[in-house]
Chains A and B, each alone.
Chain A
């Protein structure tokens, strides 16, 4: 069965630190990849997505992610985090049926 694994469950950073959240998936076919974010008290929203083309994709709020097909990975990065980035982050993979398979989520806490 397809699965998505997020390496870090809880990350604590100080403002201005760099962020990298790991995401690996197990699915051999063509995939679409997503990162979603859920800010405290808000609904889940799309941060960025990869369908094809340039494996380095840029999203909202300065986030980017790199798709490495050989490693089945789609890691999320941000060079300098802000207190307002405190949220829960979910990696997801979309298979040929259209279903999304989510990772367990990573809670990011940014200290001011």
Chain B
């Protein structure tokens, strides 16, 4: 079974703090993705990565950055958290053009 794990299920941070969300997959997948999920908006892609040290912007990259130093690990960074970044963050991994496997999500609240 593919396993995608995320470092925290729930996180509360203050406005202006730097936030790190970690994602690890154990299936040697090339591709990794970060989404945010908001009611009525579905899942929106923030960033994705096709390989180590490679990253591509998704649909809503503003205010976020990513890091992929190892194949199994993909980090999402909020340089200076803001209240409009309060959301559920989902990580996923896949091989090219096949189904993505999702982690349990991190519910981030920025106060």
- Measured between beta carbons, the chain B residues less than 8 angstroms from A103 are 42
- Measured between beta carbons, the chain B residues less than 8 angstroms from A102 are 35, 42-44
- Measured between beta carbons, the chain B residues less than 8 angstroms from A96 are 97
Whether A46 pairs with B99 at a CB distance below 8 angstroms is yes
Whether B104 pairs with A99 at a CB distance below 8 angstroms is no
Closest A residue by C-beta to B48? A99
Docked Cα-Cα span, A103 to B40, in Å, equals: 9
Give me the interface of B with A, judged by CB distance under 8 Å.
31, 33, 35, 40-45, 48, 50, 58, 90, 92, 94, 96-105
Q: Would you give 13 A-B contacts (Cβ < 8 Å), ordered by A?
A: A36-B102, A43-B102, A44-B92, A46-B101, A51-B98, A98-B48, A98-B94, A99-B48, A100-B45, A100-B100, A101-B45, A102-B35, A102-B42
Give me the interface of A with B, judged by CB distance under 8 Å.
9, 32, 34, 36, 42-46, 49, 51, 90, 94, 96, 98-105
